[in-house]
Structure 1
Amino acid sequence: MKKKVFVSGCFDMLHSGHIAFFKEASKYGDLYVGIGSDSTISELKGRQTINSEQERIYMINAIKHVKQAFVNSGSGILDFKEDLIKLKPDFFVVNEDGYSPKKEELCQELNIELKKLKRIPDTGLPERSTTAIRTGGNCTLPYRIDLGGTWIDQPYVSKYHPGWAITISLEPIVEYNERCGMSTSTRNAAKKIWPYYLPLEKPEKLAEILFKFENTPGSTMISGAQDAIGICMPGLTRHYYNDGFWPTKFESIQDETTLEWLEEHISMVLLWPREKGLDLLSDTFINEENVKSLTTAADNVWESIKEKDLEGFADSFLKSFNAQVKMFPSMVNDRILNEIDKYKEKALAWKLAGAGGAGYLILVSEKPIEGAMRIKIRRKEML
């Protein structure tokens, strides 16, 4: 009897990359495909599907590599859990960017072998992703992650000690889930100004426009400026805050060797959404000593990157994260610490993307880490 193989995903706007994935997965046995319902995708991605669940099922069932396709019966990020229990497959197959700790835990619980595949197009075909197709192949609206100094863009932090925040702008090579740390709310605000593409000229001014657009007069909560800066300003940028919402100065690194070096040593792992009801400001320790630790670490992150000093980069990167947690201990809990423990032998350093807790785990390593997503930094485009 052939073994059973299960894969799950949106599979919206079906393309050759999906077919290559099905073909590779089917080598392990009869392939069963669970797709997210229209309502689940709307919840997780913050957008409507291009093709309805009925259309997606019809197309996937027509593919010769697929034994059977069905709509997952649940909701949320593990919408396939009950189907997995009922199907009892031998293998659960995911792409590198489809891996998550929850999937691994569930497979261990159900005694299912988790297989992680690399995104490799079939012979003679270009690499394909739904994100690239949806945007016409142009990376129009970037995401951003921070590498140091998170929280310094809030005046109630920088009033104790001024300092730099460091961000890198990311090409949307995968469609990152709506998670804290990826500035998705600011990115959604940007779509209202620039629905199709981000203008190329004057990125600093674009960032200021986006910041002011998102934070309208009378806003009770001011979104940090680093979100808008990270989206609009390409490459690696640091911005200096001194008891204000907008930075007083900028510095940028755009040379190719530095950006390639960062891409070689930084990867990301998907965690879970920020826990409902989490109040990061309910228990804080913001004072001169702790803020100075944060800013000193950010200074050392920047200098280590300039020198391409991996050991120094990892050390200061981790110190920056530890300084964040010392000021805002609610950022982490036992669940997050347990997840970090899984990478301590593989990574040199780690931190949560952004300041909201959970979301994505950013890893610094000497070599690529299996199952983690590689990043692609947005380069400065010439007019």
Structure 2
Amino acid sequence: MPKKVFVSGCYDMLHSGHVAFFEEASKLGELYVGIGSDATICALKARKTINPEAERLYMVKALRCVKDAWINRGSGIMDFEEDVLALKPDIFYVNTDGHSPAKEDFCRKHGIEYVVAKRVPHGDLPARSTTALRKECRIPYRIDLAGGWLDQPFVNELAPGAVLTVSIEPDYEFNDRSGMATSSRKKAVELWQTDVPETSDREKLAKILFCYENPPMMGNRYVSGSQDSLGIVIPGLNRLDYDRGYWPTKITTRTDADLLAWIEARLWLVPLYPRRAEYDVFAGTRVTEENARALASATDAAWEAILAKDASAWGAATTAVFEAQTAMFPNMAPADVREIIAKYAPVSLGHKVSGAGGGGYLILVSETPIENALKIRIRRK
């Protein structure tokens, strides 16, 4: 009797990459496909699908390698749970950017073999992704490597300090509320559609984006930090020094290819989950001068370690950054995130979570490959 193989995803704008993924999975047994509903995709990606769920279901079910398919009954990144428990598959098959520790733990709990595949195009066909096939958009995301929260005046008025960011190419469509400056990027897309405009004054361009996202008449409780707009607009590695204000007093940019390549080779991202709508990072805050200074000091150590290309020191500083952040904002590290961090501690030199709000992605520093983790490309220009 053939094994049951289950895969789950959006499968919008069905392309050869999807078909190759299905064909690879079907080699292991009869293939069943759970498809994210329109509501689920909208919540995760903060956008509507190109093709509605009925059309996506029709196209997937039409593939000869698919035994059956349906719209998942749940929501969020674990929208398949009820359907999997009903199907009782032998194998849960995902690709690298579909992997998450939550999925792996779910399979372990229910005795399902968990297989993570690499993206392999069929034959001589080009590699495809839905992100690339949508209207071509080269506007980057950004990663907060260290210092997040110091771009907020209520923190940097207690102690001046820096935030370190890298601008990264949009090779993946990062989930909304994942700490990758997705809200600022959406505003950048509204302003510029497909790419950051060419200009000799990138700081001015970042100010335009910052002001567009944070209009004073809106009365927002939380102002998106300027590290988001700066990290998107200015390529490479950036050190943004803050002292009693929303905008940095100094910006230091490094775009030398060897340094950026060194960072890329040692930076790994493990998907966690998007921040939940009811999540309140400000609950139980302990913003003190001592904690702010600890964050600033750890960020300085990370900067020096990166420039010296000292991976061990960078890893230790990254962990110190995270501990300083969570000393001020304990909700950044709920128990389930701490459990995932503990799992990766033996194979990494240091860790933090993406952005300043918790959730999103676990950022790891390692000299050796981290199994099933994502790699990024830093924007050079």
> Does the alignment reach a TM-score above 0.5?
yes
Q: CA deviation at 1:117?
A: 0.3
What SS does the aligned partner of 1:250 have?
strand
Deviations 1:130-172 (A, max 9, x none): 1111133xx5221111111111101111112211110011111
Gaps of 5+ in 1: none
User: Match of 1:145?
Assistant: 143
User: Match of 2:40?
Assistant: 40
Letter in 1 for 2:215: T
- Contact 2:44–2:274 (8 Å) recurs in 1: no
Letter in 2 for 1:344: A
Equivalent of residue 195 in structure 1, options 188, 193, 196: 193
Matched, 1:361 2:362: yes
CA distance in 2, matches of 1:13, 1:41: 13
User: Match of 1:18?
Assistant: 18
Matched, 1:54 2:51: no
Q: CA RMSD in A?
A: 1.4
CA distance in 2, matches of 1:277, 1:92: 30
Deviations 1:14-50 (A, max 9, x none): 1111111111111111111111112221121111111
- Contact 2:268–2:363 (8 Å) recurs in 1: yes
Name the % identity.
52
Structure 1 residues 239-258: aligned runs within 5 Å: 239-258=240-259
User: Match of 2:29?
Assistant: 29
Gaps of 5+ in 2: none
Deviations 1:308-334 (A, max 9, x none): 111111111111111111122221121
CA distance in 1, matches of 2:289, 2:76: 41
TM-score, normalised to structure 2's length? 0.95
Letter in 1 for 2:145: L
CA distance in 2, matches of 1:143, 1:320: 21
CA distance in 2, matches of 1:363, 1:36: 29
Structure 1 residues 1-383: aligned runs within 5 Å: 1-136=1-136, 139-201=137-199, 202-218=201-217, 219-220=219-220, 221-380=222-381
Q: CA deviation at 1:276?
A: 4.4
CA distance in 2, matches of 1:280, 1:13: 36
CA distance in 1, matches of 2:280, 2:70: 39
Q: CA deviation at 1:123?
A: 2.4
Q: CA deviation at 1:181?
A: 1.0
Stretch deviating more after TM superposition (182-191 or 285-294): 285-294
Aligned length: 378
- Contact 2:93–2:116 (8 Å) recurs in 1: yes
CA spacing shift, 1:73–1:284, aligned 2, 3 Å:
closer
- Contact 1:162–1:243 (8 Å) recurs in 2: yes
TM-score, normalised to structure 1's length? 0.95
- Contact 1:180–1:355 (8 Å) recurs in 2: no
CA distance in 2, matches of 1:96, 1:327: 33
CA distance in 2, matches of 1:82, 1:127: 32
Deviations 1:100-127 (A, max 9, x none): 1221122122211110001122221222
- Contact 1:179–1:360 (8 Å) recurs in 2: no
What SS does the aligned partner of 1:28 have?
coil
Deviations 1:271-304 (A, max 9, x none): 1232444333342332332222111111121111
Letter in 1 for 2:167: S
Letter in 1 for 2:66: V
Letter in 2 for 1:261: W
Letter in 2 for 1:214: E
- Contact 1:3–1:30 (8 Å) recurs in 2: yes
Letter in 1 for 2:104: E
Hey, which bits of structure 1, 4+ residues long, moved more than 4 A? none
